[in-house]
């Protein structure tokens, strides 16, 4: 007898679930609509998914004398001087701004030189000169050449060298 109420309850639960919903019924219209869907393009898969190898470096170009052109040569620039707004002693930290010799990370810019604690470079040519920006070709000991860019900021009291080193103007310190 106890089995009868349990069986009735199970039968009632199964019948409450109902049949399929109307949107789940597959009809002829739904079949035709799915057949008229746009076809997906065929995709070709590569057997080698790695990128193609890099191209070899180009052959060096030749100048009028049939000599190879050195791409690392810095252009000569024009004669000139480092503008007065850029000249002076500049330090990365306050300890760099000491009277006397240039020490630590300080640099001293004169009209035609960059002087640091370890080297002296002379201006070989002006590449660009505009208010707040100076670019020059400098030569150092042993024929070393460099392209230096200086940008003023902070009302002329901050100097950024080559886009990465930031100096503050050393006030009152002289060489």
* Predicted pLDDT of residue 151: 95
Average pLDDT value for residue range 99-123: 93
Residue 142 pLDDT: 83
Q: Is the pLDDT confidence value at 38 over 60?
A: yes
Residue 127 has pLDDT above 90, yes or no: yes
Residue 147: name the closest of 171, 126, 116, 174 by CA.
126
Tens of pLDDT along 1-26? Answer: 566 666 666 665 655 555 666 677 77
Torsion of CA 102, 105, 111, 113, to 10 degrees: 90
Instruction: Write phi, then psi, for 156 (nearest 5 degrees).
Output: 90, 10
Work out the pLDDT band at 141, boundaries 50, 70, 90: confident
Closest by Cα among 91, 114, 111 to 103: 91
Q: Report the largest interatomic distance among the alpha carbons of the chain, rounded to a whole angstrom.
A: 115
pLDDT at residue 175 tops 50: no
Question: Do residues 133 and 149 touch, judged by C-beta distance below 8 A?
Answer: yes
């Amino acid at each position: 007898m106890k089995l009868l109420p349990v069986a009735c309850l199970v039968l009632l639960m199964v019948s409450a679930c109902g049949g399929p919903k109307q949107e789940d019924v597959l009809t002829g219209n739904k079949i035709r609509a799915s057949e008229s869907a746009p076809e997906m393009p065929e995709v070709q898969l590569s057997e080698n998914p790695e990128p193609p190898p890099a191209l070899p470096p180009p052959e060096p170009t030749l100048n009028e004398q049939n000599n190879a052109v050195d791409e690392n040569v810095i252009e000569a620039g024009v004669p000139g001087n480092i503008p007065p707004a850029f000249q002076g002693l500049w330090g990365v930290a306050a300890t760099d701004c000491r009277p006397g010799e240039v020490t630590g990370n300080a640099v001293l810019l004169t009209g035609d030189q960059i002087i640091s604690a370890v080297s002296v470079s002379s201006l070989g040519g002006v590449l660009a000169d505009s208010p707040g920006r100076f670019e020059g070709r400098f030569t150092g000991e042993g024929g070393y050449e460099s392209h230096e860019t200086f940008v003023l900021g902070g009302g002329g009291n901050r100097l950024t060298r080559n886009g990465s080193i930031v100096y503050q103007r050393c006030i009152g310190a002289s060489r």
